[in-house]
Amino acid sequence: MLAIQPTALSEGVLDATVLLDCLPDVVLVLDEAGCLRYANASAERQLGWTRETWMGRSALDLLHPDDLAVAAASMGTMQGKEYGTPVEVRVSDADGGWHLMEIVGANHHHHAKVGGLVLVVRDITQRRMWEIAGGDVARFQQVIQHSPSITMLLDADGIVTSVNGAFTRLLGFDPSVVIGQSLSAFVANESLGSLANVLGSMSRDHCNTSIELSMKRLDRDDLRPIRFEFADLLSDPVVAGIVVSGYDVTELQRVRNDLEQMARHDALTGLANRSLMLSCLDTYLAIGRPVAVVFIDLDRFKPVNDLFGHEAGDELLTQVAVRLAQAVRPGDVVARVGGDEFVVLAPGISGWTSATLLAERIESALSVPYELSVGPVKVGASAGVAISDSMSSVASLLADADVRMYEAKSERRGTTTRVAGEPRRNASERRRLADALAAGIGRGEVVAHLQPIIDLDTRALVGVEALARWNHPDLGELAPASFLDLVEDAGLDMPFGAAVLESACHTLEILNVRGIHVPLAVNLSVGQLAHPSLCEQVIRTITDHGLDMGQLIIEITERAMLIRHAAAGMSSPDETLQRLRTAGAALSLDDFGTGFSSLTHVRRFPLASLKIDQTFVAGMETCAEDRAVVEVVVGLARGLGLQVVAEGVETVKQWEMLRQVGCDHAQGYLMSRPLDADAAVSWITSYVAAV
């Protein structure tokens, strides 16, 4: 017979310590500070920690940081109860892994032989995985699957490992296509940087975050804005990933845009309101960009309201707004600032000719009768123009334009736009400014800023134009619009022109030393062309700086072409230009199309190029007439063997349109603003090296 050995159980004697070590569950005893006083052998088997290592240390150090609050709340439920509320937390093992543990405790601090908090800890990691695999949470899975919000799971690299049906419903991509792909594959380019920042911060800081991303849509060009919430559960042994939930914010974005539109735009016309206009004007002045302001007031608007009612008045204002928007250049700001008052901001315009031409275009647009529901009506408009300078403020510019608008209205009330021009200076003020300018020329205050000229096809640098600036000791840097009228009136053409040429040649000399030989375009006034010593002065300045006359391009206006005979003691412009041409300089006709050109005058000079005025360039995108003018000028130049330079190019679309019609070269703020000597040398050196 088999002999039965006696055991502790059969003998009625049990060793509690051995019994606890035999349990599959972890048993811990903590003191009042939460430090470990006892752990059974199962703690070592399941977590790999030796009891000696952790004895006396806080048990909270084993918990995941995100679960500390849950554990603390559970401990609070033990007061006055036999057992605390069970809680699930993540517990670290010796290898750095995480186990999902269910913990239930009993407070035995009062027990003399225990004197602590007794915890029973059970590893439920596998059980949770079996529940998920076995479909015990099928109902919850269906809830997630049919939720209107996107729910997905990403791994640490941002790869989608699970996704619900909302992703397909909102974006069109089938789950089989999405799973295994990086989330970035479905994010629009404009949001890729934001997504990378979020994933990077989560990897680094393990923090939850939210972000709005523009998402691609299957077989659709439009994007859908989705607000995503990211929760880092990479350390969770069951989830082991980043949980992402997202909801469509298209409607929220629409409401947000509508509110912004309402706050910054006129409710009736949709134009910018006074607030937005003031903000734009302040920005232009802050960055030093020249801007023309056109203040427009409708004539005979009140009779329309009185005779036909406010509905007809509103209809008229709406049509006026449409015409204004069509008359200006892309990038110009059109605002309704009062009942029948409008303001146009035209950035980049610094000359009275261009500003006046813009106002005349507005006049043409507003002068055509309006077809209202009550029948045709005809109203006029009065306009005042102001142009910024270095001393301009928002208030002063608007005040100047407003005053000139009322001056125009009082001069002749009628049906057409009247443009009040440059403010008149009194005689003493003009004398003071003229004296200051003469002294400034002697002190080197008048300098040349250079604006690059670029080939439209090759993008190569083909020249620079010298543009005058007066560095006034009190008023700061002044553009020509502020003082150019004084030059001719005060007889300063020669010293002024010499100062500009000297400054430009000094900059070109630096570039020549660097091996960069750039053609220089310089404007010569009628007063200079008529002076008998001009040729000698120009040739001497060019040669003194080691330049070649072949680098010089003389730009002349159409006004200069009309003067054929010399006054007493003076030279004729014809003779001067011929001598400069013989010396090697090239000739260019500036602002072609804005004056009194004829083919007779064009053919009279050995021109090398024509320059298209910036007003026509500005209108190419919106005005068929301006496009036609540009095409005609280019065709004429081609027929005469001349090159064409477009001034005032400010947009990529203008660049492309000019290139398509065969224009050769371009200059304008799209490429570069006019640059002082140091900036010009730096810009040109870098550009030539890059191209």
**Spatial contact of 102 and 88, defined as CB atoms under 8 Å apart:** yes
Cα–Cα separations (whole angstroms), residue 210 to 50, 197, 202, 246, 292: 41, 11, 11, 9, 44
Across 521-549, b (16+ Cβ under 10 Å) vs e yields: bbbbbbbbbbbeebbebbbebbeebebeb
* List of the chain residues with pLDDT < 70: 1-13, 73-74, 76-82, 85, 131-143, 145-146, 258-261, 407, 410-430, 481, 489, 558-571, 593-604
Q: Does 292 lie in the same domain as 388?
A: yes
Distance CA 514, CA 512 (A): 5
Q: Does 102 lie in the same domain as 220?
A: no
Q: Does 281 lie in the same domain as 398?
A: yes
Q: Does 336 lie in the same domain as 209?
A: no
**Secondary structure of 591-635 as H, E, C letters:** EECCCCCCHHHHHHCCCCEEEECHHHHHHCCCCHHHHHHHHHHHH
Residue 566 has a pLDDT of 43
pLDDT digits (tens, 9 = 90+) for 381-407: 888 899 998 888 888 888 888 878 876
Distance CA 544, CA 53 (A): 88
pLDDT digits (tens, 9 = 90+) for 265-306: 888 999 999 988 998 999 999 888 899 999 999 987 887 877
Q: Is residue 393 part of a domain?
A: yes
Closest-CA residue to 333 (of 398, 391, 404, 380): 398
Distance CA 195, CA 193 (A): 5
Residue 188: domain span: 136-254
Q: Does 215 lie in the same domain as 147?
A: yes
Counted domains in the chain: 4
* Final residue before a domain boundary, out of 366, 390, 420: 420
Q: Does 412 lie in the same domain as 381?
A: yes
Distance CA 398, CA 386 (A): 8
Residue 672 has a pLDDT of 94
pTM: 0.44
Residue 685 has a pLDDT of 95
Backbone angles phi, psi at 263, to 5 degrees: -75, -25
Q: Does 278 lie in the same domain as 241?
A: no
* Final residue before a domain boundary, out of 76, 99, 123: 123
Q: Is residue 5 part of a domain?
A: no
Q: Is residue 46 part of a domain?
A: yes
Q: Does 463 lie in the same domain as 372?
A: no
Q: Is residue 130 part of a domain?
A: no
Q: Does 97 lie in the same domain as 190?
A: no
Q: What is the CATH number of the domain that holds 598?
A: 3.20.20.450
Q: Is residue 131 part of a domain?
A: no
Q: What is the CATH number of the domain that holds 211?
A: 3.30.450.20
Distance CA 371, CA 375 (A): 6
What residues contact 426, with CB distance under 8 A and at least 6 apart? none
Residue 347 has a pLDDT of 92
Residue 141 has a pLDDT of 65
Q: Is residue 510 part of a domain?
A: yes
Q: Is residue 466 part of a domain?
A: yes
Distance CA 171, CA 153 (A): 17
Find tokens 């509320």 and name the residue: 85
Residue 22 has a pLDDT of 87
Cα–Cα separations (whole angstroms), residue 39 to 32, 71, 75, 91: 16, 18, 18, 15
Residue 562 has a pLDDT of 53
Residue 428 has a pLDDT of 52
Cα Rg for the chain, rounded, in angstroms?
A: 40
Q: Does 441 lie in the same domain as 406?
A: no
Q: Does 453 lie in the same domain as 325?
A: no
Q: Is residue 672 part of a domain?
A: yes
Q: Does 476 lie in the same domain as 582?
A: yes
Residue 572 has a pLDDT of 73
Find tokens 């052998």 and name the residue: 41
* Final residue before a domain boundary, out of 123, 158, 188: 123
pLDDT digits (tens, 9 = 90+) for 429-484: 667 778 888 999 999 999 999 999 999 999 999 999 999 999 988 778 887 867 77
Give the DSSP letter of residue 67.
G
